[in-house]
Structure 1
Amino acid sequence: MAKEREEQSEGGIMRTTPQRWGRPFEEIERLFNDLRPWRSGLWGEAEIHGNMPRVDLMDRESEMVLRAELPGVKKEDLDITVDEQSVSLHATRHHEERTEKGNYYRAEISRGEYLRTIPLPCLVDGDKAKASFKDGMLELTLPKVEQSRRKRITVQ
């Protein structure tokens, strides 16, 4: 990684990083990672940390249904928090200790924590929420509060 240096200019002190044209992909990756906090707001996630579980959010007439993929997570390692406007998922996938000899050529299996807060498009009643978890798939049924239900209005 290139070292930053400070340069004095008319407007004040400016941090600069020397260009590393010999390794353009490292520079692109650095720029991409610098934008990570800004990118998280583009898709409506209030919080993204660690591994981000993939979710489906479906609007039914009287309820919202949220499904999340949490492969390798045990039910007892799952924590769900619901308020009127969002659902927070926190889960831990424990690392299996192995005493294997050898070097990995690939290590793609995710381990560690999943954490995500999903904003909801309407108000829900968290006290009446129901959850089921089977084969790494979480399903939450979140009843809408009465005022949030869609109503068809006929024009007269």
Structure 2
Amino acid sequence: MSKNVHPISKETQPATTSRNLSPFAEMEQMFEQMFSPNWMRSFNRDLPSYGRLAQPFAGKIPRVDVIDRDNEILVRAELPGVDKKDVDISLANNTVTIKGSSKHEEKEEKGDYYRCEISQGAFSRTLTLPADVDTDKAKASFKDGLLELVMPKLQGAQKRNIKVE
């Protein structure tokens, strides 16, 4: 294999849903795909020293799952390397914002970095929720780098099936 030929990595495709998305939800999905944490990967592969320059931008957006259950909304966020005390969650106007920071205290004093992928710094992610939630009854837990936020739906926002007559 030639030195200039690099194998193509298979990126995971975002989950698709069978329901139609609103134009705003489609736009949000397109932006998330366009600005995924891996968008600078080719620069790092072709220019190894570029990794240090790209570090402030790489890997900062937490990956999330938003699950619409009958009576509640569940949000799971991957926050590896983040301490529980460095996470801030806010709920307002049908959105949830997850903010935090990670720190990497060690700095290599000997030699030059050939590859630098361990990210540090602040992140923020705001998600639109699929239903109105009771912010007073929301609960969050954090274990092994996984944040889980459970938010009960407001009474009028709960799912119900309607029989077609």
TM-score normalised by L of structure 1: 0.67
User: 129, 134, 150: which one pairs with 1:120?
Assistant: 129
User: 40, 43, 50: which one pairs with 2:29?
Assistant: 43
- Extract unaligned runs of 5+ from structure 1: 1-40
| Matched residue, 2:164 | 155
Give, in whole Å, the separation in 2 of the partners of 1:45 and 1:113.
20
Q: Runs of 4 or more off by more than 6 Å in structure 1?
A: none
1:85 and 2:94 correspond: yes
Three-state SS of the structure 2 residue aligned to 1:81 is strand
Q: Which has the higher strand share?
A: 1
- Residues 102-121 of structure 1 mapped to structure 2, 5 A cutoff: 102-121=111-130
Root-mean-square deviation (CA, aligned residues, Å) is 2.2
- Percent identity, aligned pairs only, is 48
Show CA shifts across 1:45-64 (max 9, x none).
79x99511000001100001
| CA pair 84-126 structure 1, distance change in 2 beyond 3 A | farther
Give, in whole Å, the separation in 2 of the partners of 1:60 and 1:42.
21
Q: Which has the higher helix share?
A: 2
CA shift, 1:42, in A, is 3.8
| CA pair 44-64 structure 1, distance change in 2 beyond 3 A | farther
| CA pair 76-89 structure 1, distance change in 2 beyond 3 A | same
1:146 and 2:155 correspond: yes
Show CA shifts across 1:18-40 (max 9, x none).
xxxxxxxxxxxxxxxxxxxxxxx
The letter for the 1-side match of 2:65 is D
| CA pair 107-74 structure 1, distance change in 2 beyond 3 A | same
Three-state SS of the structure 2 residue aligned to 1:152 is coil
| Matched residue, 1:9 | none
Larger radius of gyration: 1
Give, in whole Å, the separation in 2 of the partners of 1:84 and 1:63.
16
Kindly tell me the number of residue pairs found equivalent between the two proteins: 115
CA shift, 1:44, in A, is 7.4
| Matched residue, 1:73 | 82
Show CA shifts across 1:84-116 (max 9, x none).
401000011013143531111110111101111
TM-score normalised by L of structure 2: 0.64
- Extract unaligned runs of 5+ from structure 2: 1-26, 36-55
